[in-house]
Chains A and B, each alone.
Chain A
């Protein structure tokens, strides 16, 4: 998917483009302080990344878009609510920009950032 056929030819939206939309939406979501790349070898979160394709994975599966996001959350926020609103925001923005259905947004909370101690 990410493809559409018009009378003039086809339109293909690359997963990377979708990832960029998701990236912008994620960073504007409250409570998210960064994205975490997944180190495939050991699955350990290494450093905070600014490169969208490293913290976000987009898969096309037939007619569906799946998005996986690895986020770092501010310590002291309600993690569930933050993750939920990331999923909602990302779905909303991707669907608005592409007009295609996002069937799943999986949010992985890879870590917390403690910016101060209570």
Chain B
């Protein structure tokens, strides 16, 4: 991507006042947000700070909200408002440090109407000093080191730079180098083979400003390397462009260090949908190219490293398959960073679809006879871009696994101990994605008590419980987990159940029919129920659960 030199000249001539500063920080925020996942991926282990990229983005977002409607041309006032917003929204360790950096910066430009070289140097110095004041034992190799090196570089550049834009270039370069040096200062980073996430976040914020000056795109992370597992290649197929008929995936080990800028540049000449993943010293490159060029990327990569695996596929054929399978897929609610995501355990596809329509973010398949493991539950939410999770186990045997998932993750998880699917649905109805996670969970726990659960299934052995005698193969009815009736047919079982549940005093009954039952049969039984309980509103839904002919929700 070329630098737009006339644009840069224009920036050089115009003084950077409050409004220009506002555009710069907006660009910084946008660029950080674009690269948020790159920063998140740098987290070493379950560090208590959570996802640095998300925390920093949200902190700066809050700062941005404070200035977005402001029209002041005075730099000092604009920076002060920005810093105030960052303080109010500071999230996590990195967010607090970021807010301190901005506070120092804003103090440095307090009196300045525009950002000239001297004001800029002074502000970066103040930012550094303020950041270091906030901690007794500063840990080097973190965002603190990055702001320090950046400010120091700016101070040594005094006299040799002509304007604030040149100084910004110096600052971005220094930040970049400081980030690359962090593993040398902090052994944990070196062991994990990553750079410091907070420092990288600060670098993206500064680089975004420079990219804005250069007129470069802020929306696509041009040089990003993700972990191999995160590459999600299937989704990359969604945007096949005309003429790019072949998908080429090459695994390779580069000779020496891979220069990503050059690498991306070359690939951009060849095709689209470029992705590069890295793991254990190996890289994986993914690209879409026109049919006649399908060997070009392979030849190119053979020149810069050792190719270990090549896959070429015809996209048009693949696209058809994916579109077909997507049609029957359930669309879950997309998770906004920082909002609450709900994960439910659902025993059937029909129920999963209903949960999805209520705003659930992920479903773990499981129920009475197939209890999901803690790991199953954990992996459903671990990669979500939020740390606020609510789990609805929807079965008394799964509550414990859900609680274990809560123990082993660093995310803030609440388990709403729903013991049945209807309880889960009732809880879901009072879900609010924007609230405080503990308060929302509490509301959901209250809501789940508003519903009675009936279940109709077939007895697998002869037994007598709670005064009800059951023979093997008979239909049995359970009300809130208690055996209340046995009968010869599902119809009788359902009627017996509703009798016991005192259905006449309730308003709505929803029948979720299982995978062994047809829709017609379910409708027929619903009609019988309507005939018997005139005041009751009866709804029929496909549940798709195994073993249970009906799950009933009685409200």
Interface residues of A (CB under 8 A from B): 27-34, 74, 76-78, 81-82, 85, 88-89, 91-92, 115-116, 118
Question: How far, in whole Å, are A89 and B93 apart by their CA atoms in the complex?
Answer: 10
- Beyond A76-B87, A88-B49, A89-B48, whether A81 also contacts B135 by CB under 8 A is no
Given known contacts A88-B49, A91-B48, is B91 in contact with A81 (CB within 8 Å)? yes
Which of B46, B95, B107, B135 has the most CB atoms of chain A within a 10 A radius of its CB?
Answer: B135
Task: Scan B108-137; emit 1 where CB is below 8 A from any A CB, else 0.
Answer: 001000000000000000000010011111
With the chains together, A82 CA to B136 CA distance in Å? Answer: 13
Q: Could you say which residues of chain A place their CB within 8 Å of the CB of B130?
A: 76, 116
Q: Which residues of the partner chain B approach A33 to less than 8 Å between Cβ atoms?
A: 133-136
Is B96 within 8 A of A85, CB to CB?
Answer: yes
Q: Shortest 4 CB-CB distances between A and B: which pairs?
A: A88-B48, A78-B90, A92-B48, A74-B134
**Least distance between A52 CB and chain B CB atoms (Å):** 12
Contacts A28-B135, A78-B90 known; list 9 others, CB within 8 Å: A28-B136, A28-B139, A76-B100, A77-B90, A78-B87, A85-B96, A89-B48, A92-B410, A118-B110
- Whether B48 and A77, one on each chain, are in contact in the complex, defined by CB atoms closer than 8 angstroms, is no
Which residue from B90, B137, B410 sits with its C-beta under 8 Å from A27? B137
Contact yes or no, A81 B95, CB < 8 A: yes
Report A-chain residues with C-beta under 8 Å of the C-beta of B46. Answer: 92
Q: Which residues of A contact B134 (CB under 8 A)?
A: 30-31, 33, 74, 77
Is the CB of B394 closer than 8 A to any CB of chain A? no
Residue of A27, A33, A76, A82 contacting most chain B CB atoms (<10 Å):
A76
> Is B154 an interface residue, CB under 8 A from the partner?
no
Q: How far is the CB of A107 from chain B (nearest CB, A)?
A: 13
> Chain B residues near A91 (CB, 8 Å)?
48
Cβ contact within 8 Å between A31 and B135: yes
Q: A85-B92, A85-B93 are in contact. Are A77 and B136 (CB under 8 A)?
A: no
A56 to B100, CA, bound (A): 26
Q: Is B419 an interface residue (CB 8 A)?
A: no
- Which residue of the partner chain, among A78, A115, A118, contacts B96 with CB atoms under 8 Å? A78
A28 and B137 contact, Cβ closer than 8 Å, known pairs A76-B100, A78-B96: yes
Closest chain A residue to B144, Cβ basis: A30
Query: Is B47 engaged at the interface, CB distance under 8 Å to the other chain?
Result: yes
B230 at the interface (CB under 8 A from A): no
Report the bound CA distance from A55 to B131 in whole Å. 24
Q: B89-107: contact bitstring with A at CB < 8 Å (1 yes, 0 no)?
A: 1111101110110010001
**Do B87 and A29 touch across chains, with their CB atoms under 8 A apart?**
no
- Tell whether, in the assembled complex, residue B135 and residue A32 are in contact, meaning their CB atoms are under 8 Å apart: yes
Contact A77 B87, CB 8 Å, known A30-B93, A88-B49, A118-B107: yes
Question: B100, A77: Cβ atoms under 8 Å?
Answer: yes
State the CA gap A91–B49 with chains docked (Å): 12
Question: Smallest CB–CB gap between A93 and chain B, Å?
Answer: 8
User: Which residues does chain B contribute within 8 Å of A85, judged by CB atoms?
Assistant: 48-49, 92-93, 96
The docked-state distance in angstroms from the alpha carbon of A34 to that of B134 is: 10
